[in-house]
Structure 1
């Protein structure tokens, strides 16, 4: 999947394009006998295919226009196909793509700022357009950057070339409903971290299935997907900012509880054996195959699990639960846009293609059909109709902040985890804690000592 490592990247690479089977794109598929018009679309996001097909069926019922879909099976293959089609002007009518400008396709797709009303844009989750609409800062940076493409240098603030299809975020736990109920527990979200530990402990004891898995092979993953949320809830955004700005101590009694959260799981033997050699995909595979009762991931993990053979009805989802005594009692994830829908500007069907991307992104019926089929949360705010989502998706959507949440206050400071080298060493210390080769007290003291050393040396 796109790089699932940091909420800071905000522009996460997620893919898709609807394409007509075998129609090299750009044209209308009008049958010889006056059949209904057919739009062409491409996508490499195979797991989304049932969602796309469900929305396309609704669109055909509404308009009589069909949508044919062609999929590509890897990110790289898809990008190559798109770039080649853009150069030869054989793109499909509709393009499902990452919500980024990294591939400079703007010369090939339709600019939408004068074609979409503010009322319609207001139907999306607050941050949904952030990675799609160009800011003045971006435009100024491209103008001053010698490495920026000519396409980028020609863009203007306020322009956008796609509409947000789905949103996602990190900080999500997945639970195996069958195993939880087999252990005699209710398959529902724990209220606190301590409740969660008890739940994992009970499930592992009663089912003999290892408790929690995540991609611990990646040193910073725990902090990025769980530790930072626990810290922000425990002491508020300002508490985490103090750590990032080196004005607080990790070993302080107000902060050490967060490292203690993962430490407790390690001490109690509640992590899947071999977790330190497990990457993100391996963790999802272990959970989907019943080798672990719980999995740490992001909202995007939901579309992966059914593709790995897990029944979606056997999954519960919930955000990171707070440590007891936390200032913030419930986590709200600031979502970012995963993918967008765009229109080939050279298509002979631009009006119909534009109508379809408005339909799939801003019509509640289409959004619900897409979400339930693709196991991904639509960027559309659907209010009370979230009850029509599958239970796991509903829980996930309700954990998303419709307006900037606590993480957004920390976001400008997150880059300090890369600049201040004590964090890199701390991530490695947490791996040692997971392996029961270092205590939580030793790991947090080492962090504080390195922070002071680096400060003293001006680093």
Structure 2
């Protein structure tokens, strides 16, 4: 899924530019051998400021254990990060390790020659400590190559190459609520709603208590957030995985306008009275900030939203956190989220001490290293921490990681797009959902027909 916190995933510059940059860097004479003498110092860049602080703290621990120093630099915002990477490639000034977006940016950089293939370094034991649904993130697939445009750098790469190791992971469809607003509305601030209907009742109570600041925050200016983060997990739990997938099928007889499809849209439309004022005018960050300022009782985002809220002054201890709950009459009575890799760690093509850099990446994706970064950054690691979770990352993150451990049959996997058209444009269904709720311009039946029309158009475009 492409929408990720408003820091929406970007592709890099055209491959020819990157390839030329790498060629220039290659002429600089780097051999990939360890630095001479006893001084082993690595450099690393990240596009996340909160990660830089956590990584610097973790690096001190790594240095004590290994004698290898690490200098971490945050390069923000995202477009500045990409620009600096491109410029550094041209001048031979790349760091040894990069933290990049998973599932797109890492593959583009690798196929363009900026990142090394590390598949032989990532052993089976290393893979096994990663969360199962993230293990293949950073690996270029044959399908990705075949579906790429003729001028894509993927055409010059090989299926099976690994260009990054998953570092942070998360899931969409996570609800946050201010405990004080719940308590003021007569609700239990420590017990999450068990069903969709319970959530609607809670929203009814908080908006009755505070009509202006008791509603639901979501950045609907980015229209697909409602469709992706609320409707999809809601419909998945109501219909079950196979029936949910069938709504997207080519020539679907069981599409969104089918009786069951309309039922899911009717369930979503029940949110209409409870959106915070101006929800359609706010971007993702703006909505989260409004929630942080107390302008709404509830907020919907992902596991990664917790870190952003903390950066804006909200203590995790003051929040009740839970996944979008399943409808009472749904197929899946329990809901869990399949985590997807959000960021990965890559080894640059010009790394001066390859062995040390691989060791650093390995340590960061071990329980101890990943836990150290997660505890400070409040971003969940892509590591299966198991029973160690609370001791390594603290109670707040450990509680969220439990969202990943529900029944597999009911797990909602936002990364699974195999049932959608290859050129699926999520903005089109997102726009329809905004017209359904909060605008009320469409009935659930009309919205279903519009969604089927949009899907048919996208399937036709794929041939």
Q: TM-score, normalised by structure 1?
A: 0.82
Deviates more, 1:63-72 or 1:348-357: 63-72
- 3-state DSSP class of the match of 1:411? coil
What is the Cα deviation at residue 351 of structure 1?
1.5
CA distance in 2, matches of 1:451, 1:338: 28
CA distance in 1, matches of 2:405, 2:11: 21
Mapped contact 2:110–2:117 kept (Cα < 8 A): no
Instruction: Name structure 2 gaps, 5 residues minimum.
Output: 13-29
The 5 Å alignment of 1:37-436 reads 37-99=40-102, 100-104=106-110, 107-140=113-146, 145-149=149-153, 152-184=154-186, 185-207=188-210, 209-245=213-249, 246-248=252-254, 250=256, 253-266=259-272, 269-361=273-365, 363-388=366-391, 389-400=393-404, 405-407=411-413, 411-415=417-421, 418=424, 424=428, 427-435=430-438
Relative to structure 1, the CA distance from residue 384 to residue 41 in structure 2 (aligned partners, 3 Å threshold; closer, same or farther) is same
- 3-state DSSP class of the match of 2:139? coil
Deviates more, 1:432-441 or 1:312-321: 432-441
Relative to structure 1, the CA distance from residue 165 to residue 13 in structure 2 (aligned partners, 3 Å threshold; closer, same or farther) is farther
Count matched residues. 433
CA distance in 1, matches of 2:414, 2:245: 12
CA distance in 1, matches of 2:258, 2:430: 18
RMSD, matched Cα: 3.7
Deviates more, 1:407-416 or 1:120-129: 407-416
Deviation sequence 1:282-329 (CA, Å, 0-9, x none)? 111111111111111122222221222222322332111001111111
What is the Cα deviation at residue 357 of structure 1?
0.8
Q: Report the equivalent of 2:4.
A: 4
- 3-state DSSP class of the match of 1:297? strand
CA distance in 2, matches of 1:29, 1:181: 58
What is the Cα deviation at residue 281 of structure 1?
1.6
Relative to structure 1, the CA distance from residue 365 to residue 257 in structure 2 (aligned partners, 3 Å threshold; closer, same or farther) is same
CA distance in 2, matches of 1:321, 1:300: 18
Mapped contact 2:5–2:285 kept (Cα < 8 A): no
